[in-house]
């Protein structure tokens, strides 16, 4: 399952961008570019994403987000553990707006360390089923991956 969330200090700055990001990531129907960019028009700074996903896998998603909103996405990729340690070390001065990973266990760790801020969004709550999001709004699932034994 892929997940994303917002580290605590940057929650307010990135909140306006999450709806378009989540809808793009879900592959669902998105707002027209003008509507999505209107919501984020006041945010001209890049959105910084710390991600455990390999860059070539997430770049098309972020390129689409930039096309739809006009907001640049900067990524810092690596393994979850070191990224969580970086969030911890940076504390309130983190550069990250979004933490995007494939492992809900690491999100649980980050959430319980107090590194993730709750996000309250009617759009995310409407479009992402309750079983794919944290009850406290600290993370939202974007996809489900089946693991099978043959």
Distance of CA 108 to the CA centre of its chain: 15
Q: Is residue 134 part of a domain?
A: yes
Residue 148 counted as domain residue: no
Residue 135 sits in a domain of what CATH number? 3.40.190.10
**Terminal-to-terminal C-alpha distance of the chain:** 20
The number of domains in the chain is 1
Q: How many CA atoms lie within 13 A of 48 on its CB side?
A: 14
- Residue 123 counted as domain residue: yes
The Cα–Cα gap between 10 and 105 comes to 22
pLDDT digits (tens, 9 = 90+) for 18-64: 433 443 343 333 344 444 444 544 557 899 999 998 899 899 989 99
Residue 146 belongs to some domain of the structure: no
Alpha-carbon Rg for the chain, nearest whole angstrom, is 14
Confirm whether 136 is domain-assigned.
yes
pLDDT in tens, 102-137: 888 888 899 999 999 888 888 888 998 998 889 999
Domain that holds residue 46: 3-141
Distance CA 5, CA 83 (A): 13
Decide if 147 is inside a domain: no
149 part of a folded domain? no
């Amino acid at each position: 399952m892929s997940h994303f969330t917002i580290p605590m200090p940057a929650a307010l700055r990135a909140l306006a961008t999450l709806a378009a990001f989540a809808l793009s990531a879900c592959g669902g129907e998105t707002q027209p570019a003008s509507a999505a960019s209107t919501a984020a028009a006041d945010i001209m700074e890049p959105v910084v994403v710390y991600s455990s996903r390999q860059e070539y896998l997430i770049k098309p998603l972020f390129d689409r987000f930039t096309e739809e909103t006009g907001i640049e996405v900067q990524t810092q990729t690596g393994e979850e553990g070191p990224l969580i340690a970086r969030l911890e070390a940076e504390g309130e001065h983190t550069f990250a707006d979004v933490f995007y990973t494939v492992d809900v266990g690491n999100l649980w760790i980050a959430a319980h360390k107090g590194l993730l801020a709750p996000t309250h969004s009617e759009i995310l709550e409407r479009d992402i089923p309750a079983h794919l999001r944290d009850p406290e709004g600290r993370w939202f699932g974007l996809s489900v991956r089946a693991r099978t034994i043959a």
